[in-house]
């Protein structure tokens, strides 16, 4: 049987979607008349009051016009703020489904959850384009390609808004890194901005009619988004015709008049700047016009009218807060989003009948790692871990043995043995200045360098005794044997990450080996050194707390000691081993960047277990690329689950045992090493020499293994331009570890019958067949790339222009037609600020990853 997919079929599909629950009203003259009538009843004071939030997550009520308080909530993975809620897969998992229809279903579920909690604004989706694996929030976003991100975002927003909830697309714009996120300016040329970093926002506005846009923290070309008229007024409102609300990220406003005149409508979470004290005098002085204030208020009222917020209570009745429908959607996302990266000799799927003992090892096996950290992190009613998913699945059929495999941070720092002056322990000196100058005002001994050792210098409430500006830990550490050693530093307390802006340096035998800059939040840093046996090392750990709390930590361990004995034993006796590793909310989160390498010890664990048991399957958590070059060849199977949401463990069992065929495809390129990444020279701000210390390294920052010294510049120059991700690799000799769009299946597919239609004023149709040539049902994605002519401007070798996922039984064929419109064939012409079509030959590539396109063709643009 031949299935047909394409524009006609997609249109029919739309009709079958469940009748919309509370679709917003269209933007009509009637709506505008009502908005104007409401506006006319407000005093200037009341209007100004509407321009800022209150109580963290509300627009305030305005009883004089019957406006209720409008509640907001994060975010992309579920409804965060108002109690427990279903936790759905993260953005990279959602994008890995390559399934906009599923995105719509997930959006609808979250929209219903929001209504059940009385939420009117959902602060999602996040659509910032992926540049580098180290960026801490990639897990919330939708990958590296604007076409994929746009289609997933549109699906999600449609789903949310059909439930009567306003979606908020964020963070406008070019918010592509987390370290020092409020300061670092994304400096990029207009063509790159328009072709890569804006299209997902544009589609949210033009196709999905999103109700709100959130301006990001980072300056763009030197100007904060909340006062960036070029972005908010010229592009968003004028070019794209956005009629909704431009809100600030939380605390992202820096100037009242500049923000007011740059099309920012709503300051969140409260009116630090957009308040009566600032705006009334500015209006009187003629710096801000009443017309501008009215426009902002109109936008807020317009969304409230269109979404029915004046006319019905927002909490939807008859909605169970925790229900089977949503759990199924979360499960479906975890199933569809998981990407099978490697499956040597078809080790997977495992056969339950042949698996008598399964070993489950690794820090990510339990508790469930369903999400990264920060404002997207939802508290679910229950989350299924890798361990419980597999144990439940195998109950009564096989034995499951578990071990964490690696010590946790606290165990590791407590177990590190130091001496000072021949006695066990560490000398701690306290300074009344932050530069370690002069004599310490107090010196004491502590057992080790761990938050638990701080008791003697804390007040009862857990804060530091007054006057402590800097702490110096001094000790000797004696390696018990020659070999590789881990030095693990962190500023975190019960959480692994540092929540303040603490800075620290670690010096070993007088050489500085780690320096942490005082950024907003910080991941633990793992540094490895080869040490000779039994040479005592002189350790100095200098820690400068930036608040009245401090959680300094240093752990040192031979890497040979990291993997537990029990993990080795259960691996040896098992029929197969699942090693569950990767990042978690403490190592990958909003507000900080993460390492490209797996967190400490995990590579050592993978290699050790794979040596013991050749049937080792690595299951990964993480929102982005992971440096695997040191271990990828040592294991036969790798499955990336991203952050799979609360049903991750259940999905994993179904995937590993072949009840569900893996179908996820990478939404970003996985670089082999940081040195090969196209943004290796342009991700970190350049070091900046400061004052007379110009030659002295002030801070180093080494998340990607790129040791940087010196205080950093304010701006990051996107020198790679359009050549981000696969756009770079397609024209380079370097090959990524795993290409964009890649993902294995248990079945097999073949592409054939490429047909390139003729070009007319609307563009053209391109079609091809996909056949399931394997023995199992499965889904495949047809990916269409075009190489546009480079007559006037250089073009990337290929760019994704469309895709379609199809689900096929063995032997079944799908005929897929994709429409390419004129905009898809154009480039952004900077002088004319418009899209232009170039003449010449267009190359056509069809396949199932950016570097595996078995069908090729071409056509001419005249």
Catalog residues that contact ligand BGC under the rule CB under 6 A.
74-75, 123, 170, 249-250, 375
CA distances from 674 to 372, 680, 702, 705 (A): 22, 6, 11, 8
Q: Which residues fall within 8 angstroms of residue 194, CB to CB, at 6 or more apart?
A: 828
- Residues 339, 343, 346, 352: is their CA dihedral positive or negative? negative
Of the CA atoms within 13 Å of residue 661, those in its CB half-sphere come to 20
Instruction: Please identify, using beta-carbon distances, which residue of 142 and 808 lies nearer to ligand BGC.
Output: 142
Among the residues of 267-323, which ranges form H helices? 276-284, 290-306
* Overall residue count recorded for the chain in this entry: 862
- State how beta strands 576-582 and 357-361 pair: parallel
Minimum CB–partner distance for residue 269 and ligand BGC (Å): 7
Instruction: Please identify, using beta-carbon distances, which residue of 73 and 515 lies nearer to ligand BGC.
Output: 73
The 8-class DSSP code of residue 32 comes to H
User: Rounded to whole angstroms, how far apart are CA atoms 413 and 450?
Assistant: 6
Phi, psi of 265 (to 5 degrees): -100, -30
Minimum CB–partner distance for residue 501 and ligand BGC (Å): 15
Minimum CB–partner distance for residue 170 and ligand BGC (Å): 6
The 8-class DSSP code of residue 689 comes to -
- State how beta strands 399-403 and 357-361 pair: parallel
Minimum CB–partner distance for residue 548 and ligand BGC (Å): 22
Instruction: Please identify, using beta-carbon distances, which residue of 326 and 520 lies nearer to ligand BGC.
Output: 520
My answer on whether omega of the bond before 367 falls inside 30° of 0, hence cis, is yes
For residue 548 the two structure tokens come to 């009245």
Q: Please, are residues 688 and 644 in contact by the beta-carbon 8 Å criterion?
A: no
Q: Please, are residues 488 and 600 in contact by the beta-carbon 8 Å criterion?
A: yes
Minimum CB–partner distance for residue 137 and ligand BGC (Å): 8
Q: Given 249, 542, 661, 671, which residue is catalytic?
A: 249
User: Rounded to whole angstroms, how far apart are CA atoms 782 and 6?
Assistant: 11
User: Rounded to whole angstroms, how far apart are CA atoms 136 and 372?
Assistant: 9
CA distances from 57 to 120, 217, 250, 357, 468 (A): 10, 18, 10, 49, 36
Residue 112, SS3 per DSSP: helix
Minimum CB–partner distance for residue 588 and ligand BGC (Å): 15
- Residues 842, 848, 849, 853: is their CA dihedral positive or negative? negative
Minimum CB–partner distance for residue 832 and ligand BGC (Å): 34
Among the residues of 81-210, which ranges form H helices? 91-96, 100-116, 146-161, 190-192, 199-206
What is the distance in angstroms between the CA of the first residue and the CA of the last residue of the chain?
A: 38
Phi, psi of 200 (to 5 degrees): -65, -35
Instruction: Please identify, using beta-carbon distances, which residue of 225 and 349 lies nearer to ligand BGC.
Output: 225
Q: Please, are residues 642 and 337 in contact by the beta-carbon 8 Å criterion?
A: yes
Minimum CB–partner distance for residue 57 and ligand BGC (Å): 7
Minimum CB–partner distance for residue 183 and ligand BGC (Å): 15
For 391-447, the DSSP string reads HHHHTTT-EEEEE--S--HHHHHHH---EETTEESEEEEEESSTT--S--SEEEEES
Q: Please, are residues 666 and 738 in contact by the beta-carbon 8 Å criterion?
A: yes
Minimum CB–partner distance for residue 468 and ligand BGC (Å): 29
If 0-12 CB within 10 Å is exposed, 13-18 middle and 19+ buried, where does residue 791 land? exposed
Instruction: Please identify, using beta-carbon distances, which residue of 268 and 759 lies nearer to ligand BGC.
Output: 268
Q: Please, are residues 644 and 337 in contact by the beta-carbon 8 Å criterion?
A: yes
Minimum CB–partner distance for residue 644 and ligand BGC (Å): 21
- Residues 26, 16, 741, 327: is their CA dihedral positive or negative? positive
User: Rounded to whole angstroms, how far apart are CA atoms 674 and 683?
Assistant: 11
For residue 310 the two structure tokens come to 């004046």
Residue found by looking up tokens 């009116």 in the block: 271
Instruction: Please identify, using beta-carbon distances, which residue of 186 and 616 lies nearer to ligand BGC.
Output: 186
User: How many other C-beta atoms lie within 10 A of the C-beta of residue 315?
Assistant: 13
Cα diameter, the chain? 84
Minimum CB–partner distance for residue 375 and ligand BGC (Å): 4
Minimum CB–partner distance for residue 173 and ligand BGC (Å): 14
Residue 570, SS3 per DSSP: helix
Of the CA atoms within 13 Å of residue 101, those in its CB half-sphere come to 16
249 classed as catalytic: yes
Instruction: Please identify, using beta-carbon distances, which residue of 184 and 850 lies nearer to ligand BGC.
Output: 184
Instruction: Please identify, using beta-carbon distances, which residue of 413 and 586 lies nearer to ligand BGC.
Output: 586
User: Rounded to whole angstroms, how far apart are CA atoms 86 and 139?
Assistant: 17
Instruction: Please identify, using beta-carbon distances, which residue of 242 and 250 lies nearer to ligand BGC.
Output: 250
Instruction: Please identify, using beta-carbon distances, which residue of 250 and 504 lies nearer to ligand BGC.
Output: 250
**Catalytic residue set:** 249
């Amino acid at each position: 049987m031949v299935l047909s997919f394409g524009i006609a079929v997609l249109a029919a599909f739309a009709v079958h979607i469940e009748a919309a629950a509370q679709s917003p009203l269209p933007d009509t003259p009637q709506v505008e008349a009502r908005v104007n009538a409401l506006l006319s009843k407000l005093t200037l004071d009341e209007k100004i009051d509407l321009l800022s939030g209150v109580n963290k997550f509300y627009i305030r009520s305005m009883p004089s016009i019957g406006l209720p308080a409008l509640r907001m909530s994060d975010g992309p993975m579920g409804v965060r703020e108002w109690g427990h809620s279903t936790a759905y897969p993260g953005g990279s998992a959602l994008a890995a489904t390559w399934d906009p229809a599923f995105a719509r279903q997930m959006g609808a579920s979250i929209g219903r959850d929001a209504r059940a909690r009385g939420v009117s604004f959902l602060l999602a989706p996040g659509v910032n384009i992926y540049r580098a694996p180290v960026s801490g929030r990639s897990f919330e976003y939708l990958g590296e390609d604007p076409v994929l991100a746009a289609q997933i975002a549109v699906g999600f927003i449609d789903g949310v808004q059909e439930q009567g909830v306003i979606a908020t697309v964020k963070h406008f714009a070019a918010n592509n890194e987390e370290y020092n996120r409020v300061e670092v300016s994304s400096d990029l040329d207009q063509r790159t901005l328009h072709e890569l970093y804006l299209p997902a926002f544009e589609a949210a506005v033009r196709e999905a009619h999103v109700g709100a846009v959130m301006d990001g923290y980072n300056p763009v070309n030197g100007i904060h988004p909340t006062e960036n008229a070029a972005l908010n007024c010229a592009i968003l409102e004028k070019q794209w015709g956005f009629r909704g609300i431009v809100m600030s990220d939380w605390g992202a406003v820096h100037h009242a008049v500049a923000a007011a005149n740059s099309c920012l409508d709503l300051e969140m979470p409260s009116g630090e700047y957009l308040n009566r004290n600032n705006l009334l005098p500015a209006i009187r002085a003629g710096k801000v016009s009443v017309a501008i204030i009215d426009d902002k208020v109109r936008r807020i009222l317009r969304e409230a009218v269109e979404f029915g917020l004046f006319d019905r209570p927002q909490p939807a009745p008859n909605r169970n807060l925790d229900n089977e429908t949503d759990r199924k959607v979360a499960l479906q996302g975890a199933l569809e989003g998981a990407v099978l990266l490697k499956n040597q000799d078809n080790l997977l799927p495992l056969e339950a009948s042949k698996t008598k003992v399964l070993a489950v090892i690794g820090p990510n096996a339990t508790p469930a790692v369903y999400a990264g950290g920060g404002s997207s992190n939802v508290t679910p009613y229950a989350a299924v871990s890798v361990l419980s998913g597999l144990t439940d699945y195998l109950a009564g059929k096989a034995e499951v043995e578990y071990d964490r495999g690696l010590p946790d941070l606290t165990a590791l720092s407590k177990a590190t043995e130091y001496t000072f002056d021949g006695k066990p322990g560490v000398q701690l000196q306290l300074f009344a200045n932050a530069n370690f100058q002069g004599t310490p005002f107090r010196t004491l001994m502590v057992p080790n360098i761990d938050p638990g050792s701080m008791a003697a210098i804390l007040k009862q409430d857990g804060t530091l005794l007054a006057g402590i500006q800097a702490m110096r830990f001094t000790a000797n550490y004696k390696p018990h044997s020659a070999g590789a050693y881990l030095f693990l530093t962190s500023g975190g307390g019960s959480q692994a990450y540092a929540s303040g802006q603490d800075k620290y340096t670690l010096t070993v035998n007088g050489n500085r080996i780690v320096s942490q800059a005082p950024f907003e939040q910080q991941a633990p840093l793992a540094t490895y050194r080869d040490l000779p046996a039994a040479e005592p090392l002189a350790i100095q750990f200098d820690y400068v707390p930036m608040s009245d709390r401090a959680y300094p930590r240093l752990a040192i361990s031979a890497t040979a000691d990291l993997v537990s004995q029990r993990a080795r034993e259960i691996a040896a006796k098992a029929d197969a081993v699942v090693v569950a590793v990767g990042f978690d909310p403490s190592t990958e989160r909003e507000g900080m960047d993460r390492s490209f390498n797996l967190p400490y010890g995990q590579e050592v664990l993978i290699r050790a277990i794979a040596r013991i048991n050749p049937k080792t399957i690595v299951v990964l958590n993480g929102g982005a690329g992971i440096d695997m070059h040191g271990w990828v060849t040592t294991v036969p199977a790798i499955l990336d689950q991203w952050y799979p949401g609360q049903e991750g463990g259940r999905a994993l069992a179904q995937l590993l045992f072949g009840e569900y065929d893996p179908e996820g495809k990478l939404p970003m390129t996985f670089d082999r090493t940081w040195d090969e990444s196209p943004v290796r020279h342009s991700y970190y701000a350049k070091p900046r020499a400061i004052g007379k210390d110009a030659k002295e390294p002030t801070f180093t920052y080494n998340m990607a293994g790129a040791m940087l010294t010196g205080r950093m510049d304010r701006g990051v120059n996107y020198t790679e331009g359009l050549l981000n991700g696969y756009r770079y690799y397609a024209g380079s000799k370097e090959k990524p570890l795993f290409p964009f769009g890649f993902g294995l299946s248990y079945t097999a597919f073949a592409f054939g019958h490429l047909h390139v239609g003729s070009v007319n004023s609307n563009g053209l149709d391109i079609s091809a067949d996909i056949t399931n040539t394997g023995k199992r049902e499965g889904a495949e994605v047809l990916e269409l790339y075009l190489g546009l002519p480079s007559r006037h401007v250089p073009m990337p070798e290929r760019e994704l222009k469309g895709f379609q996922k199809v689900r096929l039984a063995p032997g079944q064929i799908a005929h897929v037609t994709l429409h390419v419109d004129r905009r898809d064939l154009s480039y952004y012409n900077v002088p004319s600020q418009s899209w232009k079509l170039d003449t010449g030959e267009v190359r056509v590539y069809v396949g199932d990853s950016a570097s595996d396109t078995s069908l090729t063709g071409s056509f001419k643009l005249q």
